[in-house]
Amino acid sequence: MVLWFSAANRDPEVFEAPHEFRIDRTPNEHLTFGWGIHFCLGAHLARAEIRTFFGEVLRRGIRFEVMGEPTRVQHNIFRGWTQLPVRVGKA
Ligand code: HEM
């Protein structure tokens, strides 16, 4: 038996089209920062950092262009990429 953490935010009973990235998804009851008494202590900081990062990307007109095939992390807890070649330029 395997506990597949990374499947939590893709539960089709909770999320419509769970494999689509929808930035305006509402409601969005995701479990990215955990749940209950061990809910992530740094969630507010992480959200502030992410908001600042994307705000600056938009403000400076920075554009990321995917230049090759991404390589996924093979892990049952984390989703992510070991490689994602991008070109960073101006929009
Ligand atoms: C995008 C960034 C982050 C994600 C996705 C994330 C995710 C999580 C998750 C899922 C948990 C719960 C783990 C569990 O239930 O066993 C957690 C706990 C925790 N996180 Fe984060 N985290 C992030 C950023 C941060 C930052 C920036 C800090 C501190 C500055 C932080 C500090 C903590 C701490 C101290 C806990 C343990 C809370 C407890 O057990 O009561 N995290 N995080």
Nearest CA to ligand 1 atom 25: 42
CA 51 vs CA 24, 41, 46: distances in Å: 14, 17, 9
DSSP for residue 13: T
Which ligand 1 atom lies nearest to the CA of residue 47? 1
Q: What pLDDT does 6 receive?
A: 76
Specify which residues 88 forms β-bridges with: 64
Q: What pLDDT does 17 receive?
A: 96
Return per-residue pLDDT of the chain as tens, 91 residues.
Answer: 888 877 889 999 999 999 999 989 999 999 999 999 999 999 999 999 999 999 999 999 999 999 999 999 998 888 889 999 999 998 7
CA of 42 to the centre of ligand 1 (A): 6
Q: What pLDDT does 63 receive?
A: 95
Decide: 85 in ligand 1 pocket, CB within 6 A: no
